[in-house]
């Protein structure tokens, strides 16, 4: 290699460690398919202030037109018998890697750099990912991951590759890329060293935060066991570089102790917590109870399928148990807020997402109701309880016997029937656009992936 030559980056490392810190170009116009007429949903309703046992949510022209306890008189009302709530927001993941089945770590690791360099991880995740990057079209893995999120009631995710979503709004909202006509968030996997090519990007994003142009900056930080010296040093460097800002969203922070969380709170930082992945890799997780006690806003993320939860609904259950174990139990209402309104605030998108309120985009989910308390019913739910998912007024996933009545369409090139945990459902991966092709149906996405890697983890499992 010549003296001035740069090493060719490993495709996996480029995909995993990419930092979307620069501003993206303007997106191509893309429009979701609107139902032909307004409709109202009846069920238990989780509002910004309370949970009603019975209420009505009216959807018109892609937005929530009304949330009321009074039955609308001039539009069709669909009786759901379920719980209607804002679409769930999963604020930490690596969606491209959610095509892999869960991985069983053979040991517990001191920090994230240990397992990333292990032979077993290279064989089970890294090498298959490199093969997929070579053999499937860009964006295929992201689309598969978006379907997986969608069928679990998630309408917004963090961490997708900009290679497939930078130029157009995707199937599920990618919250650190283009969202609502702007790119106000940035992400970086690792805190860069002084010699890293990412250091100028970090300087640029800190300047954008200071100027008010960036409202959320996602950064993996101190991901290791408490007492791990590399993680401790990383946190100190984080403080020394001035990265602790009111826009900073710390991902993991497992090595931080109570005093650290008080420091983080004073700086105005936020936390995204992924307990399942932490527990499997390190045998311990973030002191989220200490973070909450210090006043740090906390949202949840399912991380990635190799070590994380199968769904955000599953992650909620792990978080609930862990908070009890930490001596900081929270109510069902607080747990629901961690994936709705609190998550929207952490993402810097409170004016658009996280609440069923008049004028907001119609991002909502309907879950089967199996408890008198609507909040508790959500906390008990799993993906098989999902009855309907609507993003920006577009019916993207729902019970087969509801779909046509609500969406105005029963068939189409991107609409297909699926059996989801024994329940007949209908999925629509397409949405209208004059300038971009719709996402292909799940069957086509699945075929592309399994042809290159037969062991792809299933969506409905």
d(CA 261, CA 279) in angstroms, rounded, equals: 19
Find out whether 384 and 423 touch, Cβ atoms under 8 Å.
yes
Query: Does the residue 6 lie in any domain?
Result: no
As beta bridge partners, residue 67 has 57
As beta bridge partners, residue 427 has 397, 416
* pLDDT tier for residue 408 given thresholds of 50, 70 and 90: confident
Last residue within a domain, chosen from 327, 346, 365: 346
pLDDT at 168: 58
Identify whether residues 185 and 238 lie together within a single domain.
yes
Query: Does the residue 307 lie in any domain?
Result: yes
Identify whether residues 47 and 75 lie together within a single domain.
yes
Identify whether residues 290 and 150 lie together within a single domain.
yes
- Classify the phi-psi angles of 391: left when phi > 0, otherwise alpha if psi is within -120 to 50, otherwise beta: beta
Identify whether residues 229 and 120 lie together within a single domain.
yes
pLDDT at 4: 37
Q: 394: domain range?
A: 39-86+351-452
* pLDDT tier for residue 429 given thresholds of 50, 70 and 90: confident
Q: How many helices (H) and strands (E) would you count in the chain?
A: 17, 17
Identify whether residues 51 and 147 lie together within a single domain.
no
Other beta carbons less than 10 A from residue 138's beta carbon? 11
> Is the pLDDT assigned to residue 25 strictly greater than 80?
no
As beta bridge partners, residue 248 has 217
* pLDDT tier for residue 180 given thresholds of 50, 70 and 90: confident
Identify whether residues 271 and 374 lie together within a single domain.
no
pLDDT at 433: 46
Any idea which residue has 């290279």 for tokens?
122
- Average pLDDT over the chain, rounded to an integer: 90
pLDDT at 8: 43
> Is the pLDDT assigned to residue 413 strictly greater than 90?
no
Identify whether residues 128 and 149 lie together within a single domain.
yes
With CA atoms as reference, report the closest residue to 370 among 82, 153, 80: 82
CB neighbour list of residue 275: distance below 8 Å, 6 or more residues apart: 285, 286, 288, 315, 318, 319, 322
The kind and range of the H/E element at 134 are helix 127-135
Query: Does the residue 135 lie in any domain?
Result: yes
What is the CATH classification number for the domain harbouring 82?
Answer: 2.30.40.10
Complete DSSP assignment for 293-321: HHT--EEE----TTTS-SSHHHHHHHHHH
* pLDDT tier for residue 268 given thresholds of 50, 70 and 90: very high
Number of domains the chain is built from: 2
Mean pLDDT across the stretch 256-285? Answer: 98
Mean pLDDT across the stretch 75-79? Answer: 96
Query: Does the residue 5 lie in any domain?
Result: no
Share of the chain above pLDDT 70, in %: 90
Identify whether residues 232 and 154 lie together within a single domain.
yes
pLDDT at 164: 57
Last residue within a domain, chosen from 346, 361, 393: 346
Indicate the burial class of 434 (C-beta count within 10 angstroms; 0-12, 13-18, 19 or more): exposed
* pLDDT tier for residue 151 given thresholds of 50, 70 and 90: very high
Find out whether 270 and 248 touch, Cβ atoms under 8 Å.
yes
Identify whether residues 328 and 389 lie together within a single domain.
no
Find out whether 274 and 92 touch, Cβ atoms under 8 Å.
yes
Q: Which residue has the higher pLDDT, 20 or 365?
A: 365
Query: Does the residue 78 lie in any domain?
Result: yes
> Sheet containing 394-399: which strands, arranged edge to edge?
63-68, 51-60, 39-46, 77-86, 364-368, 386-391, 394-399, 423-428, 415-420
- Range with the poorest average pLDDT among 11-15, 38-42, 170-174, 277-281: 11-15
Q: What is the pLDDT of residues 90-140, one digit of tens each?
A: 999 999 899 998 888 999 999 999 999 999 889 988 899 989 989 998 888
> Is the pLDDT assigned to residue 209 strictly greater than 60?
yes
How many Cα atoms are found within 13 Å in the side-chain-facing hemisphere of 258? 4
pTM (predicted TM-score): 0.94
Query: Does the residue 110 lie in any domain?
Result: yes
Token pair listed for 261: 């969380």
d(CA 146, CA 258) in angstroms, rounded, equals: 35
Q: Which residue has the higher pLDDT, 409 or 303?
A: 303
Mean pLDDT across the stretch 325-336? Answer: 98
- Range with the poorest average pLDDT among 33-47, 106-120, 160-174, 337-351: 160-174
Identify whether residues 152 and 291 lie together within a single domain.
yes
How many Cα atoms are found within 13 Å in the side-chain-facing hemisphere of 271? 29
- Please give the sequence-ordered ranges of beta strands (E in DSSP) within 87-179, or none if there are none: 88-90, 154-157, 173-174
Query: Does the residue 3 lie in any domain?
Result: no
The kind and range of the H/E element at 44 are strand 39-46
> Is the pLDDT assigned to residue 432 strictly greater than 60?
no
What is the CATH classification number for the domain harbouring 281?
Answer: 3.20.20.140
Q: What is the pLDDT of residues 381-401, one digit of tens each?
A: 999 999 999 999 999 999 999
Query: Does the residue 58 lie in any domain?
Result: yes
Identify whether residues 74 and 190 lie together within a single domain.
no
Token pair listed for 234: 């990383």
pLDDT at 371: 98
Identify whether residues 283 and 364 lie together within a single domain.
no
CB neighbour list of residue 384: distance below 8 Å, 6 or more residues apart: 420, 421, 422, 423
Last residue within a domain, chosen from 346, 376, 405: 346
d(CA 43, CA 39) in angstroms, rounded, equals: 13
């Amino acid at each position: 290699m010549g003296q001035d030559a740069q090493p060719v980056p490993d495709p996996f490392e480029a995909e995993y460690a990419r930092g979307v810190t620069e501003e993206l170009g303007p997106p191509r116009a893309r429009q979701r398919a609107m139902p032909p007429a307004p409709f109202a949903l009846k069920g238990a309703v989780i509002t910004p202030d309370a949970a009603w046992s019975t209420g009505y949510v009216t959807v018109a022209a892609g937005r929530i037109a009304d949330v009321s306890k009074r039955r609308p008189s001039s539009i069709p009302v669909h009786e759901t018998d379920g719980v209607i709530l804002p679409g769930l927001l999963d604020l930490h993941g690596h969606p491209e890697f959610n095509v892999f089945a869960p991985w069983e770590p053979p040991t517990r690791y001191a920090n994230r750099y240990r397992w990333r360099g292990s032979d077993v991880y290279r064989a089970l995740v890294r090498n298959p990912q490199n093969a997929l990057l070579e053999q499937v079209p860009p964006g295929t893995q992201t689309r598969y991951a978006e379907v997986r999120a969608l069928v679990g009631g998630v309408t917004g995710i963090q961490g997708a590759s900009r290679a497939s979503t930078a130029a157009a709004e995707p199937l599920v909202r990618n919250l650190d890329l283009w969202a609502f006509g702007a790119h106000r968030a940035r992400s970086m996997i690792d805190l860069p060293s002084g010699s890293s090519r990412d250091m100028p990007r970090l300087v640029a994003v800190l300047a954008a935060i200071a100027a008010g142009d960036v409202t959320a900056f996602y950064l993996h930080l101190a991901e290791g066991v408490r007492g791990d010296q590399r993680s401790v040093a990383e946190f100190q460097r984080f403080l020394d570089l001035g990265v602790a800002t009111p826009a900073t969203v710390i991902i993991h922070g497992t090595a931080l102790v109570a005093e650290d969380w008080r420091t983080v709170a004073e700086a105005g930082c936020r936390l995204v917590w992924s307990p399942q992945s932490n527990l499997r890799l390190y045998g311990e997780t973030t002191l989220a109870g200490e973070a909450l006690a210090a006043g740090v806003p906390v949202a949840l993320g399912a991380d990635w399928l190799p070590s994380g939860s199968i769904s955000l609904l599953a992650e909620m259950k792990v978080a609930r148990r862990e908070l009890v174990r930490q001596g900081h139990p929270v109510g069902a209402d607080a747990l629901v807020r961690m994936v709705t309104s609190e998550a929207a605030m952490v993402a810097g998108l409170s004016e658009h997402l996280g609440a069923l309120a008049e004028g907001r985009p119609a991002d909502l989910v309907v879950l089967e109701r199996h408890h008198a308390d609507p909040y508790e019913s959500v906390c008990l739910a799993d993906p098989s309880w999902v009855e309907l998912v609507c993003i920006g007024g577009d019916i993207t996933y729902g019970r087969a016997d509801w779909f046509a009545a609500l969406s105005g369409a029963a068939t189409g090139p991107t609409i297909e029937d699926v059996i989801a945990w024994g329940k007949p459902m209908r999925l629509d991966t397409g949405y209208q656009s004059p300038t971009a092709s719709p996402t292909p149906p799940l069957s086509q996405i699945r075929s592309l992936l399994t042809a290159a890697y037969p062991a792809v983890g299933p969506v409905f499992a």
